[in-house]
Structure 1
Amino acid sequence: MSTFLFATLDAGGNVPPALLIGGELMRQGHSVRFIGHPAQASTIETTGAAFIPYRSAAPMTPTVERPALRDIAMMLSVFTDPGIARDLISEARRDPPDLLVIDCLLLGALGAADREGLPYVSLVHSFYAFLDGPFRRNPISVMARLKGVGPRQVTRGAELVLVCADPALDPAADDDDAGRVVWAGAALDVAGPAVRPEHPHVLVSLSTTAFAGQPAVLQRILDAVADLPVDATVTTGPAIDPDRLTAPPNVVVHRYVPHTELMPHCSAVVGHGGHATTMRALAHGLPMLILPMHPMLDQPMIGKIVQEAGAGLTLSRKSSGAQIADALMTILATESYGAAAAVIGDRLRAAEGARRGAQLLEEAAHRSAA
Structure 2
Amino acid sequence: MRVLCSTTAGEGHFGPLRVLAQACRAAGHEVRVAAPASFAGAVQRAGLEHVPFAEPSPEAMHAVFASLARMSTEEANGTVMAEVFGRLDAQAAFPDVKRMVRAWRPDVVLRDPAELASLAAAEAAGIAHIEVAIAVAALMEWGLVHLTDPLAELDEVAGLTHGTLLQAAAASPVFTLVPEAMDRAAGHSTGAASAVRDVVRFRARRETGPGRLPGSWGNPEAPLVYVTFGTVAGGLDHLREVFTSTLHALSALPVRVLLTTGASGEVALADVPGNARVEQFWPQDDLMPLAAAVVSHGGFGTTMSALSAGLPQVVIPLFSTDQYLNAEAVSAMGAGVTIHGGPEATPAMAAAVSRVLAESSFSIRSREIAEQIAALPEAADVVDQIGRITDTAAPN
Give the number of aligned pairs.
361
Partner SS, residue 153 of structure 1:
helix
In the alignment, the residues of structure 1 paired with residue 332 and residue 281 of structure 2 have an alpha-carbon distance, to the nearest angstrom, of 31
> Structure 2: which 5+ residue stretches go unaligned?
70-75, 156-162, 213-219
Note the C-alpha offset of 1:34: 0.3
In the alignment, the residues of structure 1 paired with residue 30 and residue 332 of structure 2 have an alpha-carbon distance, to the nearest angstrom, of 41
Task: Say if 1:107 and 1:154, in contact at 8 Å, map to a contact too.
Answer: no
Task: Say if 2:246 and 2:346, in contact at 8 Å, map to a contact too.
Answer: yes
Aligned to 1:168: 181
Q: Do the aligned partners of residues 69 and 156 (structure 1) sit closer, same or farther apart at CA in structure 2, a change above 3 Å counting? A: closer
Task: Say if 2:207 and 2:285, in contact at 8 Å, map to a contact too.
Answer: no
Q: Which amino acid aligns with 1:165?
A: V
Partner SS, residue 83 of structure 1:
helix
Instruction: Tell me whether 1:314 sits opposite 2:328 in the alignment.
Output: no
* Residues 174-210 of structure 1 deviation map (CA, whole Å, 9 limit, x = unaligned): 999886431314x433355988984211111113124
In the alignment, the residues of structure 2 paired with residue 335 and residue 265 of structure 1 have an alpha-carbon distance, to the nearest angstrom, of 17
* Residues 27-51 of structure 1 deviation map (CA, whole Å, 9 limit, x = unaligned): 2111111011233323222333211
Instruction: Tell me whether 1:136 sits opposite 2:152 in the alignment.
Output: no
Matches within 5 A, 1:187-336: 187-191=203-207, 198-210=221-233, 213-244=238-269, 246-294=271-319, 296-316=320-340, 317-336=342-361
Instruction: Tell me whether 1:358 sits opposite 2:383 in the alignment.
Output: yes
In the alignment, the residues of structure 2 paired with residue 333 and residue 290 of structure 1 have an alpha-carbon distance, to the nearest angstrom, of 17
Aligned to 2:73: none
> Structure 1: which 5+ residue stretches go unaligned?
none
Instruction: Tell me whether 1:182 sits opposite 2:199 in the alignment.
Output: yes
Task: Say if 2:126 and 2:394, in contact at 8 Å, map to a contact too.
Answer: no
Task: Say if 1:200 and 1:267, in contact at 8 Å, map to a contact too.
Answer: yes
Matches within 5 A, 1:16-95: 16-54=15-53, 56-59=54-57, 69=68, 76-80=83-87, 81-95=90-104
* Residues 219-254 of structure 1 deviation map (CA, whole Å, 9 limit, x = unaligned): 211111111111111111123422156522221112
In the alignment, the residues of structure 2 paired with residue 331 and residue 246 of structure 1 have an alpha-carbon distance, to the nearest angstrom, of 26
Partner SS, residue 265 of structure 1:
coil
Q: Which amino acid aligns with 2:288?
A: M
Task: Say if 1:190 and 1:349, in contact at 8 Å, map to a contact too.
Answer: no
* Residues 98-146 of structure 1 deviation map (CA, whole Å, 9 limit, x = unaligned): 11112111234313322332322222221112211x3333xx5355255
Task: Say if 2:211 and 2:286, in contact at 8 Å, map to a contact too.
Answer: no
In the alignment, the residues of structure 2 paired with residue 43 and residue 278 of structure 1 have an alpha-carbon distance, to the nearest angstrom, of 21
Q: Identify which range, 155-164 or 349-358, moves more after superposition.
A: 155-164
In the alignment, the residues of structure 2 paired with residue 79 and residue 228 of structure 1 have an alpha-carbon distance, to the nearest angstrom, of 45
In the alignment, the residues of structure 2 paired with residue 194 and residue 161 of structure 1 have an alpha-carbon distance, to the nearest angstrom, of 34
Q: Which amino acid aligns with 2:37?
A: P
> Among residues 160, 163, 166, which one is paired with 1:153 in the alignment?
166
Task: Say if 1:60 and 1:78, in contact at 8 Å, map to a contact too.
Answer: no
In the alignment, the residues of structure 2 paired with residue 189 and residue 360 of structure 1 have an alpha-carbon distance, to the nearest angstrom, of 18
Note the C-alpha offset of 1:365: 2.3
In the alignment, the residues of structure 2 paired with residue 206 and residue 313 of structure 1 have an alpha-carbon distance, to the nearest angstrom, of 16
* Residues 252-277 of structure 1 deviation map (CA, whole Å, 9 limit, x = unaligned): 11222221222221111111111221
Aligned to 2:364: 339
* Structure with bigger gyration radius: 2
Note the C-alpha offset of 1:285: 0.8
Aligned-residue CA RMSD in angstroms?
Answer: 3.3
Q: Do the aligned partners of residues 122 and 113 (structure 1) sit closer, same or farther apart at CA in structure 2, a change above 3 Å counting? A: same
Q: Which amino acid aligns with 1:209?
A: V
In the alignment, the residues of structure 2 paired with residue 303 and residue 285 of structure 1 have an alpha-carbon distance, to the nearest angstrom, of 16
Partner SS, residue 180 of structure 2:
coil
Note the C-alpha offset of 1:19: 0.8
Q: Do the aligned partners of residues 147 and 285 (structure 1) sit closer, same or farther apart at CA in structure 2, a change above 3 Å counting? A: same
| Structure holding more helix per residue | 2
Q: Percent identity?
A: 24
Q: Identify which range, 82-91 or 71-80, moves more after superposition.
A: 71-80
